[in-house]
Amino acid sequence: WLWNFGDNNKGNLKNPVHVYRSAGIYTVSLTSSNSGGSNILTKTNFIHVVTMTANFSANSTTTHINNVIRFVSSTTGNPTSFLWNFGDNTTSISQNPSHSYKNKGKYNVSLTITKSNISTTTIKNNYITIN
């Protein structure tokens, strides 16, 4: 077996494990050989590696009940969907939502981003304090 993973790395195991270090679209080929000859199987644009980072900020992290907080996504990797959880049983799918809290307390906020069925989440614990 001779694998070409499309990123200048090769392998010779029957069932290899390979880690891609850079985002991109990779063509993978396998050459198998025995005493009867060899065959090559090539899968064009077979591996899609997406790197994304979910991050965000808020215009205020300490405020009062019913004051509007504006959240801003500072993600990388051009995600196609956003899912915010504000820690008070409410969510949003906006890229940069506004939200107000109805009760005093400290709230965890999370942002999940998705692209090509790959998701990553960032959680900021006790990020918002409502007085």
Sheet holding 24-34, edge to edge: 10-11, 2-4, 24-34, 37-49
| Distance (Å, whole) CA 107 – CA 101 | 9
Q: Give the tokens for residue 115.
A: 């692209």
Predicted pLDDT at 62? 98
Name the β-bridge partners of 60: none
pLDDT confidence bin for 50, thresholds 50/70/90: confident
> Is 0.85 surpassed by the pTM of this model?
no
Q: What is the pLDDT of residues 74-129, one digit of tens each?
A: 999 899 999 999 999 999 999 999 999 999 999 999 999 999 888 999 999 999 99
Which residue's entry shows tokens 């692209």? 115
Reduced to 3 states (helix: H, G, I; strand: E, B; else coil), residue 51 is coil
Q: Render pLDDT for 110-125 as a digit per residue (tens, 0 to 9).
A: 999 999 888 999 999 9
